Amino acid sequence: MTDTNTEQAIDLDSTDLFDIQRTMRAMRRLKPDPVPDELITKILEAGLCAPNGGNAQKWRFLVVKDAAIKKSVQPYYKRAYDEVQKPRHDAQAPKEPGPALDQHHRNEAAIEYLTDHFHEAPVWIVACAEGANSASAATGASVFPAVQNMLLAARALGLGATLTARHVTFREEVEKLLGLPDNVGSFAILPIGYPVGKFGPTRRTPVSDVAFLDSFDQPWPG
């Protein structure tokens, strides 16, 4: 299977939206260096530009920089990995040695790094919504477009970020530590900081493998 993104020469310094999309990797290794508030404001403003149901704008964003708060959440984040995510990933790992297994190990190493250093990310943006009582609440459909906008904005500003929702495994405990009001529920946490590694093209399947014209019997010709 050909990875169409790797066939294109991409300028990593480009500010073109499509180049930013193609190079917006999940950056899980972040430097502890402070991030200027003005950059976080730009990221938040990008989130507010996202579409949302009825333009109700029920989203709420908690910016967390306090080290004590982040350290208090970290044990629950790690427990969710150890007890839920890692067993699932291990079960899904390729069984035979080769490039796929090697890639799995690289991905898992990055995830484990974020798990162990989650609290060291200089900034978290906790994406929330008013009136959200569960991860399946309809308000979540209006939160994630804002999350995507913020991830793109972070990439455009040269900041690393990733979408993680693992904390919802211990939603009640984490939201209490975050001090969320009773009528506000969380959907995702975006750890943000200057990346240790470099941005680069994402690895995705070709459009023709996942898009169809009029019926699933006819792949999209593009």
- Per residue in 188-210, pLDDT (tens digit) is 999 999 999 888 788 888 898 99
Question: Tell me: the pLDDT tens digits for 138-190?
Answer: 667 889 999 999 999 999 999 999 999 999 999 999 999 999 999 999 999 99
Quick one: the chain helix, strand, coil %, rounded to 5? Answer: 50, 15, 40
State the chain's mean pLDDT as an integer: 88
pLDDT over 60 (residue 136): no
Across 74-78, 101-105, 134-138, least confident range: 134-138
Sign of CA dihedral 129, 111, 44, 149: negative
Nearest to 190 by CA among 218, 140, 149, 133: 149
φ/ψ (deg, to 5) at 165? -125, 15
Alpha-carbon span 111 to 103, nearest angstrom: 12
Q: Give the pLDDT confidence score for residue 200 in this predicted structure.
A: 79
**Residues 57, 58, 62, CA angle at the centre, nearest 5°?**
110
Q: Residue 194: how many CB atoms within 10 A of its CB?
A: 16
Q: Give the pLDDT confidence score for residue 186 in this predicted structure.
A: 94
Percent of the chain with pLDDT over 90: 59
Show me where the domains of the chain are located: 17-91+105-196
Q: What is the pTM of this model?
A: 0.87
Q: Give the pLDDT confidence score for residue 87 in this predicted structure.
A: 84
Q: What is the homologous superfamily of the domain 17-91+105-196 according to CATH?
A: NADH Oxidase (3.40.109.10)
Q: Give the pLDDT confidence score for residue 123 in this predicted structure.
A: 98
